[in-house]
Chain A
Amino acid sequence: MRTVVIAACVSVGLVIAIAVLAASTGSDVPVIAVGWWRGAFGTPYNAVQTLSFATPLVLVALGVSVALRAGMVMVGAEGQLIVGAILATVTLQALGPVPGLVALPLGAVAGMIGGGLWSTLSGALLLRWRVNEILSALLANYLAVHLLAYLLRTGLRDPAGAATPQSAPLLAEALIPRLPVPGRLHVAALVVLGIVLIALWWHHSRIAFIVDVHGQRPWLASRLGVSPASIVLSTSAVSGAAAGLAGWMQLAGVDGRLHPGISAGIGFSGLVVAVLGRNHPVGIVMAAIAFASLTTGANGVQIATGTVPASIGAVAQALLLLAVAVVVVVARRNVAARRAQRKDDRALA
């Protein structure tokens, strides 16, 4: 209840903040709104662009929501996405020229394995030594970023020798084909749609309820024959695999090669989307589209007003991130207090 109130206050504050920011450039708010709509959904091309920005966000957010239900706040999607993209690159380069029917699934699986392993690291640390998963995942993010920078200057460096640290472009067979629509939406977006349907089933499934039970009363879940270890490891692996898959999609569907900016902040944005979508798959899809529309809509705002720069979109997203952080912390306080109590009890005994 308190969380809902806080969420409401935060969103009202957010709208006011953006309006004040935009109005300070001397533009009319209605003009800005119309510009945003044109940029995000006004033309078929723009609408498809919005969807293509939303696709990886949906994937990451679905993964995050699985872990959230088990009581784990997964902030490691950024690193998982990067490691997924790295492993996919390594696999595809090692494979050499193979038909697309081999390269695409193998790239996807490599991405999922990379992301899954990276997040299982945090899950295992939580299980074995009760290391806070937020802390370990944040640190694992740094590790992933610097691992990427290191590899792009050494083993994965483009032999064609550009000064910029980036890998050689992927072979054409390894790239995800585009859908025959205006805009740059790739075929894997249909895979994401399928994953959304599976997530919808899972959301209402009995096993997801058992994961909820574990998040609240671990002993009740383990009495049903589901051990804490299996829940923590499987949910963290699934959430990491989703982020890793998104990493492969960015690599093979958008950028075409590995470079330091491959993650483009999708890992953190995905967490925002999961919380905004209230962990429900449909909510997540809507939140992801809304979030992506801030990026595409900002271009429309710039065109419509001539004075408001497109970076207003990034500012709005950053404000949203901050706002969600507040809501997550408040919602999490209870979980943290319970866990701390248990830890105290153990230490004492």
Chain B
Amino acid sequence: MTTSPIVSLRAVSKRFATVQALDGVDLALRPGEVHVLLGENGAGKSTATKVLAGLEAPDDGGIVLDGDPVVMRGRADSIRRGVGLVSQSGSLIGGLTLVENLLLTHTSWFARRSTAVDMLHRAADAAGITLDLDTPAHALGVAQRQLGELAIALAQGARVLLLDEPTSALGPHEIGGLFARLRQLAESGVAILFITHRLSEMRQVADVATVLSHGKVSLHGSVSETDDDTLLRAMTGELPPRAVERPHRTVGPVLLRLAEVTAAGPERVPLRSVSIEVRGGEILGVLGVAGNGQRTLAEVAAGVLTPSLGSVQTSRDVAYVPETRSDGLLPDMPAKRSAVLRRLTEPAFARLGVLDDRAAGRFAAELFDRYDVRPRDPEVPAALLSGGNQQKLLVGRELDGAPRIAVLHGPTQGLDVRATEAVRTEIRHAAEEGTAVLLVSSDIDEVRGLADRLVVLFDGRVADQFDAADFDATRVGRAMAGLPTTAADHQ
């Protein structure tokens, strides 16, 4: 590649309290190139993105834009300079439509709605996206929200796109579509930075890869000339263990039963007359394109949401990992407070009714050790942990001590290869201990590898269900897309 970069980081360092997030990182984003940024949780990927987007100021080193050193003074400044960001958690305002969200970032004194609509349409067309411009953002599916953010970034005139794990909540259909659009954008001269944990999908779209490890660049090279093992070694320093064979588990009585449940939840699509059963020691996988009722199903099964019709048989002892991890944590309090939340009422955590913060700290330290939550400091506010470490804390807390029922919504989202494997092992282990596991995920391979039975949700209904042994990619794909599966496939 001989084109000069649009924007680059030069020897950037950034420190948060005790954590050296970035340590002399160089990163160059060139027009027409899809650049993938890899690394374990907490390796500094999100921080590097935030520095590029002007959300964090580097302690050391600087940013070079079009050959000149610049200082990004906040997000408004980086938008003006043509840096677009689609963040991990999403930055749309829920109550506003996409058009209104774009208007919100408008810098001129006269922001006209019709102009904004025009700009969004043009940007969406250029990227080959169809968007629903007039629905409040929180009513859009995850995929639509992400594509919407992408379109807004383009409408703002972005020449550089930063995508922080855009695929973690998408189904395979949507990912394919997104990649096609990214390639198209790159060919039109946009520089794209793409963060992911999935090596296979990175190969479909990226030209160059940079691997971060503990805040340093450990590998930089062309994707086609680097094999998976080299990348993994650069990320982790070692190879992850191969997935274990599924052991034979003894299946107990039905612990979780939803009968003809109809419920209106946080998604636009309500749950429509859904019946499922999960036995002790069994993992039921729920597949579907994001936004087809999975979140509502998970909330009903976890006892968070009361259905309007139908009955739910569940237990007081439910572990629940919600789709949005911050829903399960207390962001502003020390992480140890989040860590004890499931066991809080046990006698060990209070003396004469007074919360025993030191016992909580000891419990948290032990949990942090077992689930490799970094940094190993239970006093750090949960919000300051990296996304992946928050997820490890949440999953660890919920799966700790063999709950009767576990409802896990995207339990490995945002986790690196090693942590993902560790969590999957924990899920298997919980099932072996007799837990009834409801696993909701958009990662087909994950559900296929873990679940004993699968259910596919489409438009709030069970579109198809089958044993894991009968897994058939075409059939799943059709069910997820809402197409009829052939009669012969039904038992």
Contact = CB atoms under 8 A, between A and B. Distances in A.
Interface of A: 201, 204-210, 212-213, 216-217, 219-220, 223-225, 340-341, 344-346, 348-349
Interface of B: 94-95, 136, 138-139, 264-268, 270, 302-304, 316, 318, 320, 327-330, 332-333, 337, 341-342, 344-345, 349-350, 352-355
Given A205-B350, A223-B318, A341 B94 contact: yes
A344 B137 CA distance: 11
B330 A216 contact: yes
Contacts of B342: 223
A210 B341 CA distance: 9
A225 B345 CA distance: 9
Nearest to A341: B94
Contacts of A349: 264-267, 270
A212 B303 CA distance: 20
A340 B93 CA distance: 12
A346 B139 CA distance: 11
Nearest to A344: B95
Nearest to A200: B354
B328 A217 contact: yes
B354 A201 contact: yes
Given A216-B332, A345-B138, 8 more contacts: A204-B355, A205-B350, A206-B353, A217-B329, A219-B320, A220-B328, A341-B94, A341-B138
Given A340-B95, A341-B95, A345-B266, A220 B353 contact: no
B95 A213 contact: no
Instruction: Point out which of B302, B318, B341 has the most chain A C-beta atoms below 10 A from its C-beta.
Output: B341
Nearest to A207: B353
B355 A209 contact: yes
Given A210-B344, A341-B138, A204 B94 contact: no
A208 B344 CA distance: 12
A344 B328 contact: no
B327 A225 contact: no
A201 B318 contact: no
A186 to B, nearest CB: 30
A346 to B, nearest CB: 8
Closest 4 CB pairs of A and B: A349-B264, A206-B350, A219-B304, A206-B355
A206 B344 contact: yes
Contacts of A348: 136, 138-139, 268
A205 B355 contact: yes
A206 B264 contact: no
Contact of B303 (A209, A210, A223, A345): A223
B357 to A, nearest CB: 8
Contacts of A216: 330, 332
Contacts of A224: 341, 344-345
B491 to A, nearest CB: 34
Contacts of B265: 345, 349
Contact of A205 (B264, B268, B353): B353
Nearest to B344: A224
A204 B352 CA distance: 11
12 contacts: A201-B353, A206-B349, A209-B355, A212-B330, A213-B341, A219-B302, A219-B327, A223-B342, A344-B95, A345-B138, A345-B265, A348-B268
State the main secondary structure of chain A at its contact with B: helix
Given A216-B330, A217-B327, A341-B94, A206 B318 contact: no
A263 B211 CA distance: 67
B327 A209 contact: no
A212 B333 CA distance: 10
A118 B344 CA distance: 32
A209 B353 contact: no
Contacts of B270: 349
Given A206-B349, A217-B328, A224-B345, A344 B136 contact: yes
B330 A206 contact: no
A344 B139 CA distance: 9
Contacts of B329: 217
A213 B349 CA distance: 15
Contacts of B345: 206, 224-225
Contacts of A340: 95
B303 A217 contact: no
A98 B355 CA distance: 44
A208 B350 CA distance: 12
A225 B318 CA distance: 12
Contacts of B330: 212-213, 216-217
A217 B344 CA distance: 15
A342 B216 CA distance: 41
A284 to B, nearest CB: 19
Given A201-B354, A225-B316, A209 B337 contact: yes
A201 B350 CA distance: 12
A257 to B, nearest CB: 40
A217 B350 CA distance: 21
A209 B344 contact: yes
Interface centre among A213, A225, A349 (most CB of B within 10 A): A349
A335 to B, nearest CB: 12
Contacts of A220: 328, 341
Contacts of A210: 344
Nearest to B349: A206
Contact of B354 (A205, A217, A219, A223): A205
Contacts of A346: 264
A2 to B, nearest CB: 12
Nearest to A215: B330
Contacts of A205: 350, 353-355
A344 B327 contact: no
Contacts of A217: 327-330
A23 to B, nearest CB: 39
A346 B265 CA distance: 7
Contacts of B268: 348
Given A220-B328, A223-B303, A344 B94 contact: yes
A303 B352 CA distance: 51
A129 B328 CA distance: 26
B459 to A, nearest CB: 15
Nearest to B267: A349
Given A340-B95, A341-B138, A206 B316 contact: no
Q: Which one of A208, A212, A220 has the highest number of Cβ atoms from chain B below 10 Å of its Cβ?
A: A220
Contacts of A344: 94-95, 136, 138
A220 B350 CA distance: 18
Nearest to B263: A349
Nearest to A1: B332
B297 to A, nearest CB: 14
Nearest to B136: A344
Contacts of B139: 348
A212 B332 CA distance: 11
A202 B353 CA distance: 8
Nearest to A347: B264
Contacts of B327: 217, 219
A70 to B, nearest CB: 14
B146 to A, nearest CB: 19
B346 to A, nearest CB: 10
Contacts of B352: 201
